[in-house]
Homo-oligomer: A and B are copies of this chain.
Amino acid sequence: MSLVKELAKKAKGASRILAGLSTAAKNEALEAVAKQLLADQHSILHGNQLDLQNGQQAGLSPALLDRLALNESRLKDMVEGLRQVAELPDPVGEVIETWTRPNGLSIDKVRVPMGVVGMVYEARPNVTVDTFALCLKAGSAVLLRGSATALNSNRALVASIKKGLAKTAVPVDVIQFVDSEDRKDVDEMLRLNGLLDLVIPRGGAGLIRRVVETATVPVIETGVGNCHIYVDQAADPTMALQILLNAKCQRYGVCNAAESLLVHQALAPSWLPTALAELQAQGVEVRGCRSVLELVPGLTAASEEDWATEFLAPIISVKIVANLEEALQHIQTYGSGHSESIITEDGETAEKFLRQVDAAAVYHNASTRFTDGFQYGFGAEIGISTQKLHARGPMGLRELTSYKYVVRGTGQVRS
Contacts and interface: CB of A to CB of B under 8 A. Distances in A.
A97 to B, nearest CB: 10
Given A20-B355, A366-B411, A387 B115 contact: no
Given A242-B413, A250-B414, A412-B366, A198 B389 contact: yes
A354 interface: yes
Interface stretch (A166-174, A211-219, A280-288): A211-219
A375 B180 CA distance: 49
What copy number does this chain have within its complex?
A: 2
Nearest to A245: B413
Given A246-B414, A404-B361, A407-B370, A101 B376 contact: yes
A236 B375 CA distance: 54
A406 B354 contact: yes
A35 interface: no
Question: Quick one: which of A115, A409, A414 has the most chain B CB within 10 A?
Answer: A414
Question: Quick one: which of A250, A361, A363, A370 has the most chain B CB within 10 A?
Answer: A370
Question: Quick one: which of A332, A407, A409 has the most chain B CB within 10 A?
Answer: A407
A402 B389 contact: yes
A407 B358 contact: no
A107 B250 CA distance: 22
A362 interface: yes
A162 to B, nearest CB: 24
A115 B332 CA distance: 13
B405 A376 contact: yes
Contacts of A213: 216
Contacts of A107: 376
B101 A375 contact: yes
B112 A358 contact: yes
- Bin chain A's interface residue count: 35 or more
Question: Quick one: which of A16, A350, A358, A410 has the most chain B CB within 10 A?
Answer: A358
B115 A242 contact: no
A219 B406 CA distance: 25
B404 A360 contact: yes
A387 B245 CA distance: 43
A270 interface: no
A278 to B, nearest CB: 14
A387 B112 contact: no
A405 B105 contact: no
A288 B363 CA distance: 62
B363 A409 contact: yes
B363 A407 contact: yes
Interface string A16-30: 100110000000000
A377 interface: yes
Contacts of A105: 366, 370
A387 B403 CA distance: 10
A279 interface: no
A402 B388 contact: yes
Closest 10 pairs between A and B when the two form their complex, measured CB to CB: A366-B409, A246-B413, A388-B402, A390-B390, A218-B389, A369-B414, A239-B411, A361-B405, A366-B412, A365-B409
Interface of A: 16, 19-20, 99, 101, 105, 107, 112, 114-115, 193, 197-198, 212-213, 216, 218-220, 236, 239, 242-243, 245-247, 250, 332, 350, 354-356, 358-367, 369-371, 375-377, 387-390, 392-393, 402-414
14 contacts: A16-B332, A115-B358, A115-B388, A212-B216, A218-B218, A218-B387, A218-B389, A218-B390, A246-B414, A247-B413, A362-B406, A366-B408, A366-B412, A388-B402
